[in-house]
Structure 1
Amino acid sequence: MSARSSFRFNGRFSKYLETGIPYCARPMIAAMRLTAICSLIFGGAAQASCPAPRAGQPLPPQATARPIDELPDWRPRVDEIEHQLANSDLSRVKLLFLGDSIVERWDPDLFNRHFGSMGALHLGVARDTTQGMLWRLPRMGLGKSLRPDLIVMLIGANDTYPGGNPEAVAIGIGEIIRSIRNLSPSSRILLLGLLPRGAAPDDIWRQMGDQINRRIAACADNKIIFYADPGATLSPAGSGMSRDLEDDYLHPTPLGYRILSDALDDEITRSLK
């Protein structure tokens, strides 16, 4: 099946080329690469400062481990993952994806085409939160049976809501980074910014995601921890979101996942140099 017959197109995406990247998305991917190069040149010596509570303040709820048992589908998926890990040869896993439904919904064939050569494994859990991921991490065998070279992490979308606290969500993500570093210090981390959410650039969901991303970008030291914002390939700053890329203004479409996969190829290579 051709690329043209596989996806819906409007005028904005009519120039879909053999590279798998729409013509309009190419400048944004180039901008991501330039940002990465600049951060390596100018930011490599900077001290990373992952969000954390101020001195004397307790951790917010988003930064505490807790199973999300009030969601009926959460525990079955976690149990499925634990069974999978217990019955798999994890020594081949060099690339691990952690996240929520955006990671879980990645098409297996597309995922394997882009990342399978590294024995890639994804452990996405729909509706997962920072608390749920913090609870899951010690149960994965990280640093023991599971020692990936690189962990790609995308989490936080389910912690956002109107009136929510971006700082608390960012602290939760920072706590996940610290937990991974404690469990598997030999693994590098590629932290992904939250994908654009909502139809318009001034959507409250989009604004909260932008605030969280600005905070968690500070986690990167460009040595062990790297940060990337692949969502910029789906909706550049100041632009709206097309249903061709996120049909519910949150989860990528098949075309959206192809663009994300193309964008992440270079980011993963950069993080492993």
Structure 2
Amino acid sequence: MPLVLPPGATVLFQGDSITDAGRDRYADTHLGDGYAALAAERLRAARPGVTVLNRAVSGDRVRDLRARWERDTLAHRPALLSVMVGVNDTWRQFDLGEPSPVEIWERDYRQLLTGLRERYDTRLVLIEPFVVPVIPQQWAWREDLDPRIHAVRRLAAEFDARLLAADGLLNQAARAAGGPEAIADDGVHPTPLGHRVLADAWADLVLGS
């Protein structure tokens, strides 16, 4: 079923570098060069008049979202909010030794969504964090990342959100494309093909295509 958006609705993308995708911070409506911009093309064609914004910030973890939630999310009163966050919480444990306990991560994520719903009747798309391992060491990330994926699934059920199961989607796309580098050359940041796979899945989920 397609999501119903009121005329003039604001659709907001939120998250980390995967969503940021090089957006121009000085251009209010610039969407970057990734899946958000590609998905917006289909969304605008199907829902003329919607406003699409991207407020993702490269490197963000849930704690960073919490620090800017009022300014970069709530202030825009989104009719539809799309969030993908979590891989940096895992990554920083492995490259910097900065753990982000999953229980606290899920609690903080839930608090953000609860605060949003207490103020607005916002529809949600929650996108799983993912890794498409390109080096053997990234398989070890699974121990930390998989519980975050399960947490996103719980939150999607709890908040009646559309769930984009990106982890399985992109890993399968990598197999079809001949290898992980075709989808995410460092295992995390999508290639143009990876962004296209994400964008098509997002648009299908929202538009019911």
TM-score (norm 1): 0.56
Structure number with bigger Rg: 1
> Which one of the candidate residues 139, 162, 167 is aligned to 2:103?
167
- Out of 12, 31, 42, the residue aligned to residue 96 of structure 1 is 12
> Which one of the candidate residues 127, 133, 137 is aligned to 1:198?
133
The aligned counterpart of 1:130 is 62
Aligned to 2:77: 147
Letter paired with 2:81: I
2:87 to 154, 157, 163: 157
| Residue aligned with 1:124, SS | coil
Is residue 130–residue 176 contact of structure 1 (8 Å, CA) maintained in 2? no
Secondary structure of 1:152's partner? strand
Amino acid at match of 2:200: D
Residue identity over aligned pairs, in percent, reads: 26
Of 207, 223, 232, which aligns to 2:168? 232
Runs of 4+ residues over 3 Å off in structure 1: 115-118, 221-224
**Match for residue 110 of structure 1?**
38
Distance 1:159 1:202, change over 3 A: closer
Structure 2 counterparts to residues 1-273 of structure 1, below 5 A:
92-105=8-21, 106-107=32-33, 110-117=38-45, 118-140=50-72, 142=74, 146-160=76-90, 161-162=93-94, 164=99, 165-183=101-119, 185-199=120-134, 203-221=139-157, 224-236=160-172, 242-270=180-208
User: Does structure 2 conserve the Cα–Cα contact (< 8 Å) formed by 1:246 and 1:252?
Assistant: yes
Q: For residue 232 of structure 1, report the CA deviation from its aligned partner.
A: 1.9
Q: Distance in 1 between matches of 2:193 and 2:10?
A: 26
Cα distance, 1:159 vs. partner? 1.2
Displacement of 1:147 = 2.4
Unmatched 5+ residue regions in structure 2? 2-6, 22-31
Separation (CA, whole Å) in 2 of partners of 1:170 and 1:269? 28
| Matched position secondary structure for 1:198 | coil
- CA RMSD in angstroms comes to 3.0
Structure 2 length as normaliser, TM-score? 0.72
